[in-house]
Amino acid sequence: VMDVDMEQVVAMREKTKYSYTAYVVWASVQALRQFPVLNAWIEEDRILVKKSIHMGVAVAIEGGLVVPVIRNAERKSLGEIDQEINALSGKARAGQLTPDDMKGSTFTVTNSGVFGSLFFTPIINLPEVAVLGMGKVAETPVVREGKVTASNVMYLSLSYDHRAVDGATAVQFLHAVKIQLEQPG
C-alpha cells in the first residue's frame, strides 16, 4: 500500500473531467513500460511477459464485477483511455459486453474508492500476475515542511504473485505509479 498526493490530478480534473480511474490506468501503463514483468501471465510453470498492455478495468454491475479490457493501452492518450473506460463501463452496466470485451487483459486496475474505501486488498485476475487497487481520494492531513496541512490523498494497493514478481520490483512499480500521479505532466 502506498499513499499518493493527488493535488495535481485533482487540479487537472477540473479542466479535463477525466475520471480518477483514467489517471490511474494511464499512470499504470507508464509504470508497466518500466517494469514489464508485471505485465505478464503465469501459465502452468511459465511466466509470459506480454509486449502489449491490455488493461483490465473492473466495473461493478448488479451481481458482481466484470473486467472489460482496454486493448493496446500503451498506444492511447489519457483522453482516449478515459473515453474507453466510459464506453466499456456503459456497455457493462447495460449488460452489453461481449466475451471478447473481457478477455486478454494483462494487468488490472480496480477502484473500491467509488464505494468509499480508503484501501483494500485486491484479488489478482488470473492468469495475470498483479492487480492495482485504488482507494478513494480524500482530503487528508499531511505534513509539509514541518506543518500540517490538508491535501487530497489516495491509497494504492498492489497485489502480486511472488512466483513472477519479487517484493522489491513490486514496490518500485508502485512507486513509479505514484510518481506519475504526483507529477503527471
What burial letters (b/e) apply to 87-104, b meaning 16+ CB within 10 Å?
Answer: ebbebbeeeebeeebbee
The CA distance from 60 to 164, in Å, is 28
Contact 136, 154 (CB under 8 A): yes
The reply to whether 162 belongs to the active site is: yes
The active-site residue out of 162, 167, 183, 185 is 162
* Angle at which helices 167-182 and 7-16 cross, to 10°: 50
- Reading the block at residue 127, the C-alpha cell is 492468469
| Residue 45 grid cell | 510453470
- Do residues 140 and 51 make contact, with C-beta atoms less than 8 angstroms apart? no
CA 182 to chain centre: 15
Q: Please give the positions annotated as active site.
A: 162
